[in-house]
Amino acid sequence: MWKKNFLFRATESTPLSQSENELFHDTEPALDSAGLVFEKFLSVWVQGEGTDEKPSAFTNLYVRTAMLDVHKHVSLLHPLQGRSHQIKQLLLPEQKQYLRQWLAVHAPQAWESSEDHFRDLFELE
């Protein structure tokens, strides 16, 4: 199975160089939000068929919101959302555009082999 994570600041159209695992790995879970200053992120996981190096088709997309207090190293990860309407609501049009372009350029055969319901997630409304 192929998978890739794109981690966006909630209001930015270009992902960070770090993945969700890298940024949130050494943080403690937030048990109480009192006194915390959270920054909001959107974590996008794309899955597909193929090897770790090369996808042959994209099959699933999951999105979750993630909060991080950078100074206190405390985080809150929400559950992954995989339903089309949830994904479309969470992602900004610019984020959808970035993801669509990245997937189509970095793995054009996988993009073309993906089912319509997957590609439809990136349609701008």
pLDDT beneath 50, residues of the chain: none
Instruction: Provide the domain limits for residue 9.
Output: 2-28+36-122
Locate 117 and state its tokens: 């319901």
Q: Give me the number of domains the chain comprises.
A: 1
Q: H helices within the chain, ranges in order?
A: 20-24, 84-90, 93-106, 108-113, 116-119
Contacts for 108 with CB less than 8 Å, ≥ 6 apart: none
Q: 23-45 pLDDT, tens per residue?
A: 998 888 888 778 889 999 999 99
To the question of pTM greater than 0.75 for the whole model, the response is: yes
